[in-house]
Amino acid sequence: MRNTAENGIYGAEKSGKSRLICDYSASDISAEEYSFTRIKLLDDGRIVALSRGNSSPDGAICLLTPVPPDDISLKTALTFGVWSPGEELRYAVAAFNKENKIGARIEIKDYSQYDTPSDRLGGITRLNADIVTDNAPDIINISQAMPYYSYCSKGLFADLGEYFGKDGIEPDDYFGNILDFSKVGGKQYSIITQFSFFTFAAKESLVNETLVKTDRFTAGDYLALAAAHPGKAVFSDINRKQFVIYFENYMSAKFIDKETNEPKFGAEFADMLDFIMLLPEKSPYDLQNADNDIASRGEVRLMIQNDEALLSAEIIPSFESYWKTKAGYFGGDMALLGTPGGDGSAVLLVQNELAISSGSARKTECAEFIKFCLSRKRQENITGGFPVNIDAFNAVMKKAYKVRGVDAASTYVVPGGNPVNIGHISCDEAEYLKEYIEGITSVSRPDLTIQQIIGEELSRLISGGETKEECTENIQKRAALYLSEQTG
């Protein structure tokens, strides 16, 4: 039996174990470009397969011939350290290896191989250990589980700003606010190449009716919204425990000053604790359906449109996703509220972010790969997130509002009902979303230790072991001590 995965083609041995017979990364093959089915291994080791990937949408028969490593012309090898690389990175590496003119070849080191059932972050632990020693990969894909600012302050990443203005890499070609998220002390230690964003949302009519201002929403505003509508659920499908996870993952970094590395768990954080305590242990979805049924979750989400719930938590990775959320679940009446903390903006979610090890002897070649990932051609074809290249973003945006007819992007399935054509996003809506993204001032960079501190103190607060004031003070003190040790 033959089957495929993101990293290659596998065969089943008589023992029942799987054996990798074609490594996509080593063969410069991407599953995005070649989606193989009906695979047959020939006696001489060659593979015959049907492909229906981007390179052959109508289908093609492919013959894969094994080549001894010694027969491949020598190239400059660059190691790319990634924890669980997605298809986008695998495709970029495969394409770069085939197209670059500098004689370089990138080899992915997938650190997820060090994960275990008892330690799901084992690969991250190993990658972090390699970064701070002489074993650092040449190129690193930044993970949320890294102490990013600490690594920058210690000079473990190269300043990519040195490559701006050279060989076609111009800062003005990319979203300035997103470039800034990777700057520390004025130096560009990494570059985000793909992103989505997290925000809370509510009916715009409800917000205008209840709150005086609509430019910045604080935790106090969320409390006021809930107090003005006591008969409605705060969220339709988020309980207290789930909200705490959202806070730890997406919002906790907003209470850390990235320049000074000092915690700011003050008055607004205390209001956030009041809001957390307001949330029930079980959401309407929990009460209605004990199983994780997608259709039932969709039905519960319609509580917003039916004026039965106030808020929704949204991750927006594309124009199509935004429009389905607004036109579908919200019935066209939706306001993006951002998240509490700081200036109240939404939180950028990093999907891919590249850095170069300061100890690499091949920084120039590494920079060529980053340039390749930032090119308009590559950026226009990324999936599952927004491109950071402005020209590519504009092209994707235009494609979203220029499309006509009924397709998957314009079809919204009413939970428990029939498909409805909601059309496509308009030019004005698309421009609004672009402006909204340009106004995002926060990025999700959760620190595992800070998350642990918050989780421990919140557990005491929820169980009645300490007051809101004690919880706020303890988190501030413990976070300050930990952060001072990191920069000391």
Domains in the chain (CATH in brackets) are 2-68 (no CATH), 71-193+350-393 (3.40.190.10), 197-348+406-487 (3.40.190)
Fill in the amino acid letter for 209: E
Q: Which pLDDT score, from 0 to 100, does residue 486 have? A: 75
pTM: 0.88
Neighbours of 296 (CB within 10 A): 17
Nearest-Å Rg of the Cα atoms of the chain is 24
Q: How many CB atoms lie within 10 A of CB 248?
A: 20
The burial class, CB within 10 Å (0-12 / 13-18 / 19+), for 319 is buried
pLDDT along the chain (488 residues), means of 10: 67 74 73 72 81 70 77 76 92 92 93 93 94 95 89 95 81 96 94 98 91 78 94 95 95 88 93 97 84 65 89 96 92 94 94 97 96 96 95 97 78 70 92 98 91 96 96 98 82
Within 8 A by CB and 6+ apart from 405, the residues are none
The pLDDT of residue 214 is: 60
